[in-house]
Structure 1
Amino acid sequence: MFRFLTAAATLFLLSGPALAQGAQVAFGGMSQDTSAPVEVSADSLQVNQTDGTALYEGNVVIGQGEMRLAAPRVLIVYAEGEGQGRIERMEASGGVTLVSGDEAAEAENADYTIATGVVVMTGNVLLTQGPNALTSERMTVNLEDGTAQMTGRVRTVIQQGTDAPQQVQE
């Protein structure tokens, strides 16, 4: 019993910096080809030629490779100049779900920059990896290398007898 309590106390003390500062998380299922075509479906679409945006609303689902992003509202910003016609950024709001493989993340908002393959999710972020869960206020996902950085009071729930999420403290 003493060994168990010592191990639990050590784990708690070691996790302290991760809870306060943030945690880097490995995302095997979240890495993907960011140059793959993007498919969008929604209940409605408004295109603004003046500012180069398209607003999708109502049951918006975006697919790119194995990744799926769902939200009530997504604003797509198109590139100007040489890359005109290409999607530069997607801003999802109203409750966002990002799924790839057996990993899923939820947040109030998400901003996906296509060229860099970076998704920034903010507001009550919940990440599930199998039976395990992590929460924070902000998560920055790099889809090209399959990693994420969680910041703002990070909390981890690890189900016993399962594979633990891979965390690296800063």
Structure 2
Amino acid sequence: MNRPVVKILLATLLLAPLWLTPQAHAASADRKLPLSIEADRKHTDYKGGEATYEGRVIITQGQLTLTADKATIHLRDGQFDRAILEGRPVIYQDRDDAGQPIRGEARRMDYQALDEIITLSGQARIERAGDTLASERIVYHLKNEVVDAGAGGSDRVRMTLQPRSAGEGKKP
């Protein structure tokens, strides 16, 4: 890995605690609520545990809302495990346990629900508490609050942090 990419990744990791609070993961209680899916078309492979939805796809679970042109849903042991979404853009909206809105968008999103990992790729962007992070690829580990951004090569990570007063940085 070249030096500028390493510096960018280190800077992102060092700034992440300012951007993410200890409660930045999706509202955990929502993951026990029913999953609702709307679309224009659906194709299901029951034996394979996979369903593909197309046309104005809207997925909701508690505060979580995903919108896309196409979504492939994977089940593990009869439970929602993963969604691969495609669109122009795919939009992720949720609230953390502190009630702060989180919004992400990209051309492709891999949402691993059970592992609590979101991978945004293709003009990826995450907004939270007025702060923004943009890159070609962003991997957001909700459970342990780790964010990795940058796809290498000519990809640049762009982050904007809003000014906060002394005690405000802990509760954006």
- Counting only pairs closer than 5 Å after superposition, residues 115-154 of structure 1 correspond to structure 2 as 115-145=114-144, 147-152=145-150, 153-154=156-157
Deviations 1:20-64 (A, max 9, x none): 556243164552223332211112111123532111111111112
How many pairs align?
146
TM-score normalised over the length of structure 2: 0.70
Runs (5+) with no aligned partner, structure 1: 1-15
In the superposition, relative to structure 1, how do residues 119 and 161 fare at CA in structure 2: closer, same or farther (>3 Å)? Answer: closer
In the superposition, relative to structure 1, how do residues 144 and 158 fare at CA in structure 2: closer, same or farther (>3 Å)? Answer: closer
- Counting only pairs closer than 5 Å after superposition, residues 5-154 of structure 1 correspond to structure 2 as 19=8, 23-24=12-13, 25=16, 26=20, 28=23, 30-33=25-28, 34-79=31-76, 83=77, 85-94=78-87, 95-101=89-95, 102-145=101-144, 147-152=145-150, 153-154=156-157
In the superposition, relative to structure 1, how do residues 74 and 110 fare at CA in structure 2: closer, same or farther (>3 Å)? Answer: same
Q: Percent identity between the aligned chains?
A: 23
Deviations 1:53-108 (A, max 9, x none): 111111111112211111110001122xxx1x222211111221111233211111
* Distance in 1 of aligned mates of 2:169 and 2:137: 21
* Distance in 1 of aligned mates of 2:170 and 2:137: 17
In the superposition, relative to structure 1, how do residues 113 and 161 fare at CA in structure 2: closer, same or farther (>3 Å)? Answer: closer
TM-score normalised over the length of structure 1: 0.70
Deviations 1:100-125 (A, max 9, x none): 23321111111112221211111211
Pick which of 152-161 and 102-111 moved more: 152-161
Q: RCO higher in 1 or 2 (8 Å CA, sep ≥ 6)?
A: 1
The one-letter amino acid paired with 1:19 is I
Runs (5+) with no aligned partner, structure 2: 96-100, 151-155
